[in-house]
Amino acid sequence: MENKHGLDFIGQIEASIPGLSKGQRLIARFIIDNYDKAAYMTASALGAEVGVSESTVVRFANEMGFDGYPGLQAKIRETVRVKLTTVQRMQAVNFRMDENEILDHVLLTDAEKIKATLDTIDRASFEKAVDLILSGKNIYILGMRSSAALAEFMNYYFGLLFDNVRLIRPAGGSEIFEHLMKVHEEDVFIAISFPRYTTGIVNATEYASKTGANVIAITDSMSSPIVEHATVALIAKSEMASFVDSLVAPMSVINALIATIGKKKNAEITETLERLENVWKEYNVYTSAETREKHI
């Protein structure tokens, strides 16, 4: 939906109130005051909550520029993910889920996010990301807060595939740029970020882009603030589960990147892994049946 007023979506709804019907104004006020709840209500439930018909809710969605209620609901959910504090996130999920449903809900939602990512991810962008990584003189990886776990995972396996990987682990905002001082146009910078987006990674992505480096953004939508600075974007679906984010879909995309690059570097990685296996065996890095039998 086009941002007609230069405001965020909740601001757009508020600005539209003077031109709405009485029933539509009730809907608008409810969404403004309770968008965390409205995001997970059906059209009929929202209408019943404010005392209007389901058709009035649908007309309100049309008035806001959507073809129907699902489009409006998706936009509200996007707003929820970006705007809510950690406490509000937890309260929003608690509102719509009974304690006995949480396990089923979380696992089923995770599976849906992987399927949705598979259905929508741009294959050409994925292949371009692979080519950029393979051709990069140095590979820089940055993920902050919960996305740092994804960056660590990628760094571990890329470390088996490449000798030129640099994981950025900033202790503070200013340290990011100290790590990025050596980035240049022959490098590739991989930024991993999901709501709530941090200022640090947005600034770092912009900086890397200005150096001429190729930037790969792994994020949740094309409206993510790191996409505008990216050479290529890989979109993986993510949704909050209580106060935590579901990151299984981006993890799967990263797995696919690792597997694809591993296949392209098959001969080299096979030799590396064979040497590693010999070292691991010599120094008992992993347990084995023989090792366990000695302790019985």
Q: Which two tokens stand for residue 82?
A: 């970006």
128 lies in the same domain as 242: yes
> In the predicted model, is pLDDT for residue 23 greater than 50?
yes
- pLDDT tens digits, one per residue of 54-108: 999 999 999 999 999 999 988 887 777 666 554 455 555 555 556 667 788 788 8
Quickly state the pLDDT bin for 115 (edges 50, 70, 90): very high
Q: What is the CATH number of the domain that holds 39?
A: 1.10.10.10
128 lies in the same domain as 153: yes
- pLDDT tens digits, one per residue of 188-237: 999 999 887 889 999 999 999 999 999 999 999 888 999 999 999 999 98
> In the predicted model, is pLDDT for residue 134 greater than 80?
yes
What pLDDT score was predicted for residue 293? Answer: 59
131 lies in the same domain as 198: yes
Domain assignment present for 106? no
136 lies in the same domain as 70: no
- Compute, in degrees rounded to 10, the torsion defined by CA atoms 104, 219, 256, 241: -10
Domain assignment present for 95? no
Domain assignment present for 114? no
Q: What is the mean pLDDT of residues 38-47?
A: 89
Q: What is the CATH number of the domain that holds 160?
A: 3.40.50.10490
164 lies in the same domain as 131: yes
Average predicted confidence (pLDDT) for the chain: 85
Domain range for residue 287?
266-296
258 lies in the same domain as 178: yes
What pLDDT score was predicted for residue 243? Answer: 45
63 lies in the same domain as 180: no
Tell me the C-alpha distance between 275 and 125, whole Å.
Answer: 34
279 lies in the same domain as 237: no
Helix axes 22-38, 69-83, angle to 10 degrees: 50
Tell me the C-alpha distance between 162 and 139, whole Å.
Answer: 9
What is the phi/psi pair of residue 214, to 5°? -75, 130
Domain assignment present for 113? no
146 lies in the same domain as 251: yes
Domain assignment present for 190? yes
> In the predicted model, is pLDDT for residue 285 greater than 90?
no
Quick one: what percent of the chain has pLDDT higher than 70?
Answer: 84
> In the predicted model, is pLDDT for residue 157 greater than 70?
yes
Radius of gyration of the chain (CA): 23
126 lies in the same domain as 188: yes
The amino acid sitting at 291 is: T
Tell me whether the omega of the peptide bond preceding residue 96 falls within 30 degrees of 0, making it cis: no
Domain assignment present for 240? yes
Q: What is the mean pLDDT of residues 25-46?
A: 88
